[in-house]
Structures are given as structure tokens and as C-alpha cells.
Amino acid sequence: MLVQTRSKLFISWLVVFMFAASSLGCASYGGPEPLSAHKEEIAAKMFKLKENKASIYVYRNGLNSDIRMPISLNGKLIAKTTSKTFLKLTVEPGFHEISSEEGNFSSIALKTQAGENYYVFQEIITDDDSIGANLQVVDEFEGQRGVQECRLIATSQLGQVDQDQMDQMDQLGRVEQQVDPLDY
């Protein structure tokens, strides 16, 4: 009788421990930028078009580096990517500049149209002395394939975060999501 009670108690504690251990493994992602909610990532990867807006996907699907690389939209720093991450920006139709400056400066000017998706690949370039980025506009097939390999990261609100605030957040290793990145 005493053996059965100890056995049941042991099994109960084992079940509680296994449950606790499994839930801790899913608690957070150790990446430098906070990942957006899973439902937002799923919605972004559906590539649905908004009738009166344009969407710009910026992705980095290479395995070559976990170095954080900045992304700016129209001169405002909005996020820093790492390997296997992407962001989705919903913008007004018109001209927009996507840029990345870390070691070198790479910039793309896009003329967006309502109801269209655009895809920008952020390639990381390394040599003996420096690390930089090269931005490239890619076609829909290549862009969607690249985005599918990545995780959605949060972006800072346009025009609301200055460079000093971004540097402070960068020191913390994250950029707080201030707006829904799907509704820029």
C-alpha cells in the first residue's frame, strides 16, 4: 500500500514537472527583435492584398549571420533584422525608400501601387574588414518563398522613435512593438 502511494505520488510529480518543462521551452524566442504574435505571422504569410494600400515585405533568409542589420523606411529606422526574419510594412501608394546602413549603405526606391505586394531581400555581405547589406527587389515567387522561411519581427512606429530611443532599445536587445506592423 505504501509502495503504491509513493509510486502514484512520483508519477504525479513527474507529470507536473514534464508539463512545466515543456511550457518553459515555448516561453520566448531569444532573438534580438521581439517576434510578432503567431497569428500576425500567419496573416502576413497569406500575402493578402489591401485594396487601397501597398505591402512591402523585407526579409533576410540567409544563414550567414546573426548580426543585427538596420532597416529604415523613408529615413526612419524601424527594425533590425537577424538571420531568418522578415517584416511586413503596409504603406500608402507612392514612392518609398527602404535602406540599410551597417558598414555600407544600401537603398532601394520603390514606387508602390495600391493592392500590390513588393519583396525586398536583405543580403548580408561580409569580407575580411567589414559587414554590410545589399538590398534587392525580387519577384513574387522568390519573395514569398523567402518570407515563408522566416519569422515575423515587430517594427517600431514610424516617426515616433528617434535614433536615441532606438539605441536605448538596441542596448536592451529588442524593439518594442508600438503598432501593428500589418497596418502601417
Q: Is residue 5 part of a domain?
A: no
Give the C-alpha separation, 72 to 96, whole Å. Answer: 10
The angle formed by the CA atoms of residues 163, 165 and 170, to the nearest 5 degrees, is 90
pLDDT tens digits for range 133-163: 899 999 999 999 999 999 999 877 443 344 4
Mean pLDDT of 33-52: 80
Query: What pLDDT, on the 0 to 100 scale, is given for residue 38?
Result: 79
Per residue in 2-34, pLDDT tens?
555 555 655 655 555 555 544 444 333 334 445
- Asked if residue 26 belongs to a domain, the reply is no
Q: How far apart are CA 101 and CA 72, in angstroms?
A: 9
Three cell numbers, residue 79: 527594425
Q: Using only the alpha carbons of the chain, give its radius of gyration.
A: 21
Range of the domain at 97: 33-183
What DSSP state is assigned to residue 182?
A: G
Tell whether 25 is covered by a domain. no
- Statement: residue 165 has pLDDT above 90: no
The answer to whether residue 175 sits within a structural domain is yes
Whole-model pTM?
0.67
Total domain count, the chain: 1
Counting residues of the chain whose pLDDT is more than 70, the rounded percentage is 63
Average pLDDT over every residue of 114-136: 88
Residue 18's φ and ψ, nearest 5 degrees, are -65, -40
Residue 12 lies in a domain: no
Indicate whether 13 belongs to any domain. Answer: no
- Residue 54 is assigned to a structural domain of this protein: yes
- Report yes or no on 20 lying in a domain: no
